A and B are shown apart, each in its own frame.
Chain A
Amino acid sequence: MRVKIVIVGVGGQGILFLTRLLSEAARALGHEVIGTETHGMSQRGGSVISHLKVNCGAAPLVRRGTADVLLALDPDEAYRALGFLRNGGVAFVNTGRPDFPSPEIAARLSERNITVYTLNADAVASELGSPALANVVLLGFASGHPGFPWPHEAIVGAVKRVGKVTLRRANERALAQGYAAFSPTAGLLRQESPRSPTPSRHPPARGDTSRGA
């Protein structure tokens, strides 16, 4: 396992919690973790970005063009961070916007064999009774991807160990719900031929349609 992942969103969306979960999951598997996160001023509603690298040496930041995975809790922040992805990288984006990503950008991503999966994690989290769970929902969604570097079970284990004890059950449910949102028809979500993209091939926003973990 050698991974570079970038997690982005807006202050208050729980980016740092996802970073802690993924760090803990990687550590429990015996891997070397290094990363860095935004604190302070930018947490007051500003853009937040977290870098995490597993078995990649000692440099904390991910260089643009080299990330394997992007987790984005906000579509605008996703746009800003797409440049981090390498050719063949994967993005998981929380958005209800049917037009994400824009046709031009989708075309460029396709040329580079970058796949984007979207989920309205906010809607799923609201259904679960707490909009604040969108971060864990999105993580569950990503962990449903067979190529996601962290085994789903490792993340389930981390959710049981990290964060406030009183919230762990809710986090487990959110993770399961996100996971279920991905797995049934994962193949359909993939963008098709990397060389001939069209807007109609973008993955649909799915949160409301694939419930029932």
Chain B
Amino acid sequence: MEAVLLGNEAIGRGLVEGGCQVMTAYPGTPSSEILPAVLRFGREPGSAGVYAEWSANEKVAFEVALAASWSGLRAAVAMKQVGLNVAADALTSAAYAGTSGGFVVISADDPGPHSSQTEQDSRLFALFAKVPVLDPATPREAKAMASAAFELSETFGLPVMLRPTVRVCHGRQNVPLEPLRPLARRAHFRREERWVATPARRYRDHLRLGETLEQVQAHFARSPWNTFPAARGPFTLGIIAGGTCSATVEEVIAEAGLAEAVPVAKVGTPYPLPVEPLMEFVGRCERVLVLEEPDAVIELQLPDRRRVAGRLDGTVPPAGELTPDVVFDVVRRQLRELGVADLPPAHDKALDELVGALALPPRPPRLCPGCGHRSAFYAIRRGTRQAILPGDIGCYTLGANLRAVDTVLDMGASISMAAGFYHAHRLAGDERPIVAAIGDSTFVHAGLPALANAVHTGARFVLVILDNRVTAMTGFQPTVESSQLADGSPGVAVSLEALVRGCGVRWLRVVDPYEIGEMIALVKEAQEYTRRPDGGVAVIIARRPCVLHRRDSVTPVPVEVDEACDGCRYCLVAFECPALVMNPTTGRVEIDRRICVDCGECVDACYKGLIVPAATGSA
């Protein structure tokens, strides 16, 4: 059997084929499709059945899955690379403690970055935490590695990281489907000294971890995930490439007709690096180019880099994705410098310049037409003056388009930084308004400790929780507020209001952000509360289902633009809805009916009253 699968689906399939019984994750692009695939394949005949959950954050996810491993089951946890920062405390300690059942940590990297706040390299993190890493080049390899990672983990008693990049996660390829063979395992936790992290014990654990990693390194030197070119040479230029880069550079070299002249060593096990065979290869080349993403991990571990070129010496750009265009340029320069070949340039510069001259409007991501966050941000802007507006991670980062988000750092920072801005400015007697905004899922992920801390320290600011009832950006995964779990079974809905009150907040209001007037009044009232002698943190829950997820939640209010529109652009800037467009010919704003969802919210966005509900339901 074979199917064309998304890389993340292939990983999910590989996990189930490998006997995964517990799978946890916090959604994050490019990792979000792994858990649903595990659920899907885990229902097929032959599977032992899988418990899978969307956890509140990556650290929680990691620990839930690790407990299954410590109970003897095969378990996996998936996250995006910045999620690994959140789970780092658990990861570094787990390497010392080791595992019982196979334990696979999937951390998806995002060279580019395409949808992340950093370009950090999970392999580097694994090196830091002393955890072996597998780096797949393709969806097919990712599936095989996901399955094999359980064996590897059980052989050495360590967590094993699978590190796909976005091009593997969101790649698509024919993948063979092996039959599912359930492992006959029952969870059984046994007391062991190593499960208790005491400093005295950890010194010995650390020593043993080092010895185990040496064994893993020797194992990787014979691993099928690496290919070392046959003992020929000498070569003028050789290449060492990791993960997706190996497939990319092999194609570039083959298309240039240089497959014989320029050998490529493929590394699928970047840590601990099989140094010996690689240095033997380096010894047969005049120069070796190392291509890897997003940072230097293979290159860093090569003990003698006198013949090595890569990220560290500036040969390869220090940031950004290694697309085939970038790889081609780097390889072409090396080939010319070394006198191997003189390839013609790949770009049609003339065409690029002509297209550049068109000055096409950029297409940045924007909040969807009808998004409740837009109405909330519009109300925040209307209800504040000179306020500091800390924001957070999610769709609503795009509130920056409405100039309603001043800062975005990481998950949960809106709340802690709002408190920080308050304390910093208060030192100078400056008590300017501060209105933070955070999504419902992000609030539970990392906002709760920040809110308790802010209340406790007497910070004064307004917090708007943008509650659209799902983790929208990543594909509508349930949150703790949902009464449904990842697999559709019933879950206990946790109340946001109770969480907020539990953090000590005494001023809490809930509003539908579509009621813009009401929300503006609440934003003002909340600011008054923060200034009262007995005031503190005021919380507004702006609750409205995600319009992409629940289109049926919109009561249609078709609108039209009056012919008196003078094209002042106020609505375009202040409301920033993609369905409001300027017609350059008429000089008037028009409604783009193809994408308008008839939410009617923009009626508030024309202060001249020229966006009006349609007279007859003509729209």
- Residues on A lying within 8 angstroms of B by beta carbon are 10-12, 19-20, 23-24, 26-27, 32-47, 52, 56-66, 76-77, 79-80, 82-83, 102, 104-105, 108-109, 112, 122, 131
Q: How far is the CA of A77 from the CA of B250 in the complex (A)?
A: 29
Contact, CB under 8 Å: A41 / B324: no
Additional A-B contact list (10), CB under 8 Å, known A36-B167, A42-B115, A63-B255: A39-B32, A42-B365, A44-B367, A47-B363, A58-B250, A61-B323, A63-B324, A76-B361, A82-B351, A105-B358
A56 touches B366 (CB 8 A): no
In whole angstroms, how far apart are the Cα atoms of A39 and B9 in the complex?
14
Query: Nearest Cβ in chain B — how far from A148, in angstroms?
Result: 19
Using an 8 Å CB-CB cutoff, how does the interface string of B109-149 with A read, 1 for contact, 0 for none?
Answer: 00000110000000000000000000001110000000000
Chain A residues with Cβ below 8 Å from B174 are 27, 32-33
Give the chain B neighbours of A122 by CB distance below 8 A: 594
Answer yes or no: B473 CB below 8 A from chain A CBs. Answer: yes
A59 contacts across to B, CB distance below 8 A: 244, 247-248, 250-251, 324
One of A27, A37, A40, A44 near B366 (C-beta < 8 A): A44
Q: How far, in whole Å, are A169 and B174 apart by their CA atoms in the complex? A: 26
Does B260 have its Cβ within 8 Å of any Cβ on chain A? no
Q: At the interface, yes or no: B301 with Cβ under 8 Å from chain A?
A: no
- Give Cα A26 to B367, complex, Å: 35
B197 to chain A, nearest CB (A): 36
CB of A36 within 8 A of CB of B363, answer no
Check B170 against A38 for contact (C-beta < 8 Å).
yes
State whether A39 touches B247 (Cβ < 8 A).
no
Say yes or no: A40 contacts B171, CB within 8 Å: no
Complex contacts, B348 vs chain A, CB 8 Å: 64-65, 83, 108, 112
* Contact B170–A76 (Cβ < 8 Å): no
Contacts of A62 in B (CB 8 A): 324
In the docked arrangement, what's the CA distance between A10 and B352, Å? 20
Q: Which residues of A contact B594 (CB under 8 A)?
A: 122, 131
Instruction: Give the residues in chain A near B137, CB-CB below 8 Å.
Output: 58
Residues of the A chain whose Cβ atoms lie less than 8 Å from the Cβ of B395: 44
Annotate B587-604 by CB proximity to A: 1 below 8 A, 0 otherwise. 000000011000000000
Known pairs A45-B368, A80-B355; A61 contacts B360 (CB<8 A) = no
B186 CB–A CB distance under 8 Å: no
A34 contact from B138, B366, B367, Cβ within 8 A: B138
Of B170, B354, B365, the residue contacting A46 (CB under 8 A) is B365
Q: Is the CB of A45 within 8 A of B363?
A: yes
B167 touches A60 (CB 8 A): yes
User: Which residues of chain B in 90-117 are interfacial with respect to chain A, using CB atoms and an 8 Å cutoff?
Assistant: 114-115
Residue of A nearest to B358 (CB): A79
A61–B114 contact, CB under 8 A?
Answer: no
Q: Which residues of B contact A65 (CB under 8 A)?
A: 346-348
Taking the nearest CB of chain B, how far is it from the CB of A41, in angstroms?
Answer: 4
B366 contacts across to A, CB distance below 8 A: 44-46
Verify A83–B352 contact, CB threshold 8 A: yes
Residue numbers in A under 8 Å from B250 (CB-CB): 57-59
Interface of A is mostly: mixed
Would A105 and B172 count as touching, CB distance under 8 A?
A: no
Q: Which residue of B lies closest to A10 (CB)?
A: B363
A83-B347 CB under 8 A given contacts A41-B115, A102-B358: yes
**Which B residues are CB-close (under 8 A) to A63?**
251-252, 255, 323-325, 328, 346
Q: Are A34 and B171 in contact, CB atoms less than 8 angstroms apart?
A: yes
Q: Once the chains bind, are A40 and B29 in contact (CB under 8 Å)?
A: yes
Please state if B244 and A39 are interface contacts (CB–CB under 8 Å): no
- How many Å lie between the Cα of A131 and that of B595 in the bound state? 10
Option from B4, B114, B351 in Cβ contact (under 8 Å) with A40: B114
CB-based contact A60/B114 at 8 Å? no
Which of B170, B254, B354, B364 contacts A39 (CB under 8 A)?
B170
CB nearest neighbor in A for B369: A45
A195 to chain B, nearest CB (A): 15
Question: Chain A's nearest CB lies how many Å from the CB of B241?
Answer: 11
Query: Across the interface, which residues of A come within 8 angstroms of B236, CB to CB?
Result: none
Q: Across the interface, which residues of A come within 8 angstroms of B167, CB to CB?
A: 36, 60-61
List residues of chain A with CB within 8 A of the CB of B364.
Answer: 46
CA distance A45 to B363 in the complex (A): 7
Hey, which chain B residues are within 8 Å of A39, CB to CB?
Answer: 29-30, 32, 115, 170
Q: B363 to chain A: which residues have CB within 8 Å?
A: 10, 45-47, 76-77
Tell me the chain B residues, 484-516 only, with Cβ under 8 Å from chain A.
none
Contacts of A104 in B (CB 8 A): 354, 357
A76 to B351, CA, bound (A): 14
Query: Known contacts A57-B251, A79-B360: does B365 contact A41 (CB below 8 Å)?
Result: yes
Query: Which residue from chain B places its CB closest to the CB of A44 in the assembled complex?
Result: B365
Query: Please, which residues of chain A bring their CB within 8 A of the CB of B361?
Result: 76
The residue on A at minimum CB distance from B254 is A57
CA distance A19 to B173 in the complex (A): 11
Q: Flag B265-288 by CB within 8 Å of A: 1 or 0 each.
A: 000000000000000000000000
- The complex places the Cα of A125 from the Cα of B363 at a distance, in Å, of 24
B252 touches A76 (CB 8 A): no
- Tell me the complex Cα distance, A83–B358, Å: 14
Cα distance A41–B30 in the bound complex, in angstroms: 10
Q: Cβ of A60 and Cβ of B347 under 8 Å apart?
A: no
Q: How far is the CA of A46 from the CA of B401 in the complex (A)?
A: 13
CA distance A125 to B347 in the complex (A): 35
| Residue ID in chain A nearest B33 by CB atoms | A39
Looking at the complex, which one of A58, A76, A80 makes contact with B247 (CB distance below 8 Å)? A58
Residues of A within 8 A of B324 (CB): 59, 61-64
- A61 close to B248 (CB less than 8 A): yes
In the complex, which residue of chain A has the Cβ closest to the Cβ of B244? A60
Asked whether any CB of chain A lies closer than 8 Å to the CB of B341, the reply is: no
Tell me, yes or no, whether B187 is within 8 Å of chain A by CB: no
Q: Are A24 and B4 in contact (CB under 8 A)?
A: yes
Question: In the complex, A26 Cα to B174 Cα: how many Å?
Answer: 10
Docked Cα-Cα span, A76 to B361, in Å, equals 8
Nearest B residue (CB) for A56: B251
Q: Looking at the assembled complex, report how far the CB atom of B12 sits from the nearest CB atom of chain A, in whole angstroms.
A: 15
Q: Whose C-beta in chain B lies nearest to the C-beta of A43?
A: B365
Q: Name A23's closest neighbour in chain B (CB-CB).
A: B4
Provide the bound-state CA to CA distance between A170 and B166, in Å. 32
Docked Cα-Cα span, A183 to B471, in Å, equals: 45
B383 contacts the other chain (CB 8 A): no
| Interchain CB contact (< 8 A) of B171 among A20, A35, A42, A112 | A35
